[in-house]
Amino acid sequence: MENLKISVTGKVQGVWYRAKTKEKADELRLSGFVVNQDNGSVYLEVSGEKDIVYDLVKWLQNGSELSMVKKVCIEKNHIFHKDGFVIKR
């Protein structure tokens, strides 16, 4: 299992980035959450099989159709999420 903390910067708020991230995470059957940050970035934590988690990471680099991702920062996380993927407000 892989557990990651991810921060995404660029034009990622107001462009359906969180909703599309949830759709992709649900499609991949990953667990965790995604939330907008006050600085304009999007933060997420994700848990799942390593290869599948990195499939999401690859998707995050482009994101939703309207987003313009500048940077995806990844850190290992010690927290394991197991109850699906949610959007936090």
Contacts of 35 (CB under 8 A, 6+ apart): 18, 42, 43, 44, 87, 88, 89
Q: What band does 77 get if pLDDT is binned at 50, 70 and 90? A: very high
Decide if 7 contacts 41 (C-beta within 8 A).
yes
DSSP class per residue in 34-48: EEE-TTS-EEEEEEE
Question: 3, 29, 36, 77: which is the annotated catalytic residue?
Answer: 36
Q: What is the pLDDT of residue 41?
A: 98
Q: Which residue ranges form the domains of the chain, and what is each CATH number?
A: 2-80 (3.30.70.100)
Q: What is the pLDDT of residue 24?
A: 98
Task: Tell me whether residue 18 is one of the annotated catalytic residues.
Answer: yes
Question: 3, 18, 77, 89: which is the annotated catalytic residue?
Answer: 18
- Is the model's pTM score more than 0.85? yes
